[in-house]
A and B are shown apart, each in its own frame.
Chain A
């Protein structure tokens, strides 16, 4: 099955960067009202706009949790300007799965949460 790859399930069961940060400069929370899922992302951004630290607290399905985990790896150490350019399609590419329309929202929830901070 294409959707639930080993890599994706590994991210779901052991999400990266999900330890709380000692200090964060930014926090955003997003909800999916359909399923009651939520995702909180904390960032520590330095004065130059570099993401020094990231922490995710996902409460959701395998797709949204894996997406948050993969995205957190990707943005760590990057400048917020670069992250702001990310599009939904980029996330789908990173996940490397065949996403069905019904699950699209799950996949892009983490990016929407990050964008909330960057805006």
Chain B
């Protein structure tokens, strides 16, 4: 078991107090705080060995290049990719999905093709496909939700056909916390020869990932949701897929040979990394992964389940609180809830009075809100530094909301 109190000490931000109170950070599904080792790694790069990569003959550039590429190699091992060539650094998970939609989608999606998504997708795994489908005359098919807040697998099987070209599915819902049995979904899609993209933005920071075991063609995730810097996203793609795809962005570093009127392109993975990348942040992302590995993903998952179950137990005591959460064993550390008669924005404002940071919105999942027949929710989401005391504070804030709104 991990020790969240000890872990909290590694995060400088938690030394800060606002209005005399410590910070209770429960918005980790949006973005996480950063440990000192990650902050130090950025500083170390800029202070000691910063230069542009893949270019210089001098030592500084060689050192920076080595550090950057070792982050790639670390990322590759972290998700058990076959080779580091399969790891493309982007700005964020959204950009990684857009890369696939523009590059793979433009080439391989044809008129009449079908793209299967689920109703619980984040807008980032919906809007790029809407655009692509509109442009190509392809059709989106949506896997519905069951009453227990899990996806309807039988309905999914009926959506599959010879026309299915792509399944693009989230591993974990950023609203409900539902962990989808993606391996099962991928296996079905593969029976029809469909390409599969898994959105791992919520899952990769919390669950063990093995892309070879999953059998997906693409996986996307984001550094900033897993203790790493902002501005670093990851696209994993099977070598065979990435090789068939044209570049996404054109310019420096992604070329092999350039003449005045024609160019050829670099090999993987650099073919997809045009221009100077986010060097220092990618390097520091490696430290974030190492930090997570040191704690252990199995421990992280168990810790979050324990917090979730504790929070559900506490919050279920209140009749006016409605939770949108599957069985704890099917869920990650995310808990969405509403308070009858109190708008989530008002609840979150009152939570903030005690420095309890929760999210209140549609969580970039408007179609899911519609399916649940609600406008928005409050959401608590947990990570390695959260304690049961944090949830006690959230409960105290909840009581305050009920008192102020007299519900």
Instruction: Collect the chain B residues with CB atoms within 8 Å of residue A35's CB.
Output: 343-345, 360-362, 375-376
Residues of B in contact (CB 8 Å), total: 19
Among residues 360 to 399 in chain B, which have CB atoms less than 8 Å away from a CB atom of chain A? 360-362, 366, 369, 375-376
Residues in chain A near residue B349, CB distance under 8 A: 3, 100, 102-103
Interface string of B331-354 (1 = CB under 8 A from A): 000000000001111100110110
CB distance from A102 to the nearest CB of B (A): 7
The answer to whether residues A61 and B346 also contact, given A1-B404, A35-B376 and a CB cut-off of 8 A, is: yes
Contact with B343, one of A1, A34, A62 (Cβ below 8 angstroms): A62
Nearest Cβ distance between residue A104 and chain B, in whole angstroms? 12
Given A1-B353, A59-B375, the answer on whether A9 and B405 have CB atoms closer than 8 Å is: yes
Q: Does A30 reach chain B (CB closer than 8 Å)?
A: no
- B376: chain A residues at CB < 8 Å are 35-37
The docked-state distance in angstroms from the alpha carbon of A100 to that of B346 is 12
For B345, the closest partner residue in chain A by CB is A61
Mask of A1-32 contacts with B, CB within 8 angstroms, 1/0: 10110000100000000000000000000000
**A34: which of B346, B350, B361, B406 is its contact (CB, 8 Å)?**
B361
From B350, B353, B375, give the contact of A36 (CB < 8 A). Answer: B375
Answer whether residue A108 sits at the interface, using C-beta atoms and an 8 A cutoff: no
Please name all residues of chain B whose beta carbon is closer than 8 Å to the beta carbon of A103 when the two chains form the complex: 345, 349
Q: What count of chain A residues pass the 8 Å CB interface test?
A: 17
Q: Are A36 and B343 in contact (CB under 8 A)?
A: no
- Chain B CB within 8 A of A106 CB: yes
CA distance A34 to B350 in the complex (A): 18
In the complex, what's the smallest C-beta–C-beta distance from B210 to chain A, in angstroms?
36
A47 to B377 CA separation, bound complex (whole angstroms) = 44
| Minimum Cβ distance to chain B for residue A40 (Å) | 15
A9 to B350, CA, bound (A): 14
| A30→B344 CA distance, assembly (Å) | 19
Question: B261: shortest Cβ distance to chain A, in Å?
Answer: 44
Docked CA distance A95–B404 (Å): 17
- Chain A residues near B375 (CB-CB < 8 A): 35-37, 59
Give the Cβ gap from A73 to chain B, nearest Cβ, in Å: 21
Chain B contacts of A3 at CB under 8 A?
Answer: 349
**Quick check: A60 and B405 within 8 Å, CB to CB?**
no
Which residues of the partner chain A approach B345 to less than 8 Å between Cβ atoms? Answer: 35, 60-61, 63, 103, 106
Residue numbers in A under 8 Å from B404 (CB-CB) = 1, 4, 9
Alpha-carbon separation in the docked complex, A36 to B375 (Å)? 6
Q: When the two chains form their complex, are residues A62 and B361 in contact, meaning their CB atoms are under 8 A apart?
A: no
What's the nearest-Cβ distance from chain A to residue B188, in Å? 33
Q: How far is the CA of A84 from the CA of B396 in the complex (A)?
A: 43
Q: A34 CA to B362 CA in the complex, in Å? A: 7
Per the bound structure, the CA–CA distance linking A62 and B401 in Å amounts to 12
Bound: A102/B344 CA distance, A: 13
Q: Which chain A residues border B405 with CB–CB below 8 Å? A: 4, 9, 62
Task: Give CA–CA (A9, B342) in the complex, Å.
Answer: 10
Contact assessment for A36 and B366 in the assembled complex, using a CB-CB cutoff below 8 Å: yes
Distance from B358 Cβ to chain A, minimum over Cβ atoms (Å): 12
Contacts of A106 in B (CB 8 A): 345
Q: Given A36-B376, A61-B345, A100-B349, 19 more contacts at CB 8 Å?
A: A3-B349, A4-B346, A4-B404, A35-B344, A35-B360, A35-B361, A35-B362, A36-B366, A36-B369, A37-B376, A59-B375, A60-B343, A60-B345, A62-B346, A62-B405, A63-B346, A103-B345, A103-B349, A106-B345
Q: List 16 A-B contacts (CB under 8 A).
A: A1-B353, A1-B404, A4-B404, A4-B405, A9-B404, A9-B405, A9-B406, A35-B375, A36-B361, A60-B345, A61-B343, A61-B344, A62-B405, A63-B345, A63-B346, A102-B349
